[in-house]
Amino acid sequence: MNLKNMSKAKNIKKADSQESTLEKIKSLLEQIRPALQMDGGDVRFVDFDASAGLLKVELLGHCAHCPMSAMTLKQGIETEIKQAVKEVKEVKAIEM
């Protein structure tokens, strides 16, 4: 395999790895959503910066304005995702 083909193979493998990370993150968010929805809230995937390990989500419904939303984000959502997806270093809520 020449250098050009090796580079392509690495890029494909990296893209596949990032894709599976995104799939894991989105799947976990889908598993978390029902618990939030029971209280009138929700969460939506916004972006994942693989180089920084930063997952951005949007809290919706009651979660968007709840005084406990920071605790829900850090002790609930972030804890679950970081345990299952080692590439995630931090989960941050943003307002759209």
The arithmetic mean of pLDDT across residues 68-75, rounded, is: 92
**β-strand 90-93 against 41-49: which pairing, if any?**
unpaired
On average, the pLDDT of the chain sits at 84
Read off the pLDDT of residues 10-42 as tens digits, 9 standing for 90 and up. Answer: 444 444 456 699 999 999 999 999 999 999 999
Residue 76: pLDDT band (50, 70, 90) is very high
Domain at 3-93, CATH homologous superfamily: Fe-S cluster assembly (FSCA) (3.30.300.130)
d(C-alpha 52, C-alpha 56), whole Å: 11
pLDDT tens per residue across span 39-55: 999 999 999 999 999 99
Closest CA to 43 of 71, 15, 10, 77: 77
Tell me the domain boundaries of the chain: 3-93
